Amino acid sequence: MKLEDLPSHVLSRIFLCLDAESLAKLQLLDSRWNELAGSNELWRMMLKKRFHVQSVNNKHLMNTGAVEWKNVFSNWVSIRRMPSSPFSGQRFPVLGRNADTDVYIWLTIRPSEDCHVSSGHLNLRLIIQNVMAAPLTFESSGISFTLKDGQPPAERSISDLGLYKSSCTGDVNPPELTKYPLLEEYDFIIYNCQVRAPPDAVIEPDALERFSEVQIPAREHKTKSHRLYRCEFVESEIWKHYECLPGGFWVFT
């Protein structure tokens, strides 16, 4: 009795409990395993599991003919694609990112209509995904922003927009709201952070430019040890997404 003699549906179940790197490693075992762990359907499921895309039968991809899902997967890893949800995904501009390899953080914004800091607040969004860390929880109450002058913004309030669990079956689960969300492999969580903009900033990019970084404390579930993730605002990225139209109107692109 060998592992590869298990019924194929049991094998796929095992494969889908694995991360992409382990799966790629199995392909190296021998030619039979290369076939088993390299099946196109399996990698299509991995794509769903890792990037939470609802449907990967997307027109753009289908038009390119036969799709090698594993190639798509490695491309998406290399561009560090944001996992998809109503509040995250490809179309959201990335204004900041972190340097860690086990947890990915994307910083984005829900822009106001006219891109003016009319209410004095910015709605910053943090998308945090566990890509290869041990299960961990993030402490939203401890999320802190720092301005370039070293001071924190005058006010900030954090709200949880949901924890998205990745599933082994390839289904997309609805987001969960829990007090101590546990992020296992490929799960991600979204926080909306309403922060007070510097009082003299009039338009969003101007306000954003004054921020330097955000720190997010986390705790490893098993060892209970504390970790601190920092995500920096990338200045050159910020202005790219705003455009001033003739007449002084600002738009978010």
Partner 1 sequence: MTEKGRIVKMVSQDQEEFEVEYGVATMSTLIANVLQDVSEETTTVPIPNVNAQVLAKVIEYCRYHYEAKRIDQSEEDIERWNKDFMKVDNKTLFNILIAASFLDIADLLDLGCKTVAGMIKDKSVEQIRELFCIEGDFTEEQEAKMREENNWGSEMSQENNAAQ
Question: Does residue 252 bind partner 1 (CB under 8 A)?
Answer: no
Containing 53, the helix (H) or strand (E) segment is none
Interface with partner 1 includes 36 (CB under 8 A)? no
With contacts defined by CB under 8 A, name the span among 22-30, 40-48, 122-130, 154-162 that binds partner 1: 22-30
Do the Cβ atoms of 221 and 138 come closer than 8 Å? Answer: no
Q: Is 223 in the site for partner 1 (CB under 8 A)?
A: no
- Decide: 130 and 188 in contact? Cβ < 8 Å: yes
With contacts defined by CB under 8 A, name the span among 18-26, 121-129, 191-199, 214-222 that binds partner 1.
18-26
Q: How far is the CB of 220 from partner 1 (least distance, A)?
A: 16
Among 39, 87, 97, 156, binds partner 1 (CB under 8 A): 97
Query: DSSP H helical segments within 153-232, as ranges?
Result: 204-209
Pairing of strands 103-110, 121-130: antiparallel
Angle CA 129–69–17, to nearest 5: 50
> Contact with partner 1 (CB under 8 A): which of 49, 58, 78, 212?
78
Q: Binding residue for partner 1 (CB under 8 A) from 55, 64, 141, 236?
A: 236
Residue 159: count of CB within 10 angstroms of its CB: 12
Distances (CA, A) of 222 to 129, 198, 210, 218: 18, 40, 37, 12
Q: Decide: is 178 part of the binding site for partner 1 (CB under 8 A).
A: no
Q: Which residues of the shown chain bind partner 1 in the complex (CB under 8 A)?
A: 1-7, 9-10, 13-14, 17-22, 24-31, 33-34, 74, 77-80, 94, 97-101, 234, 236-237
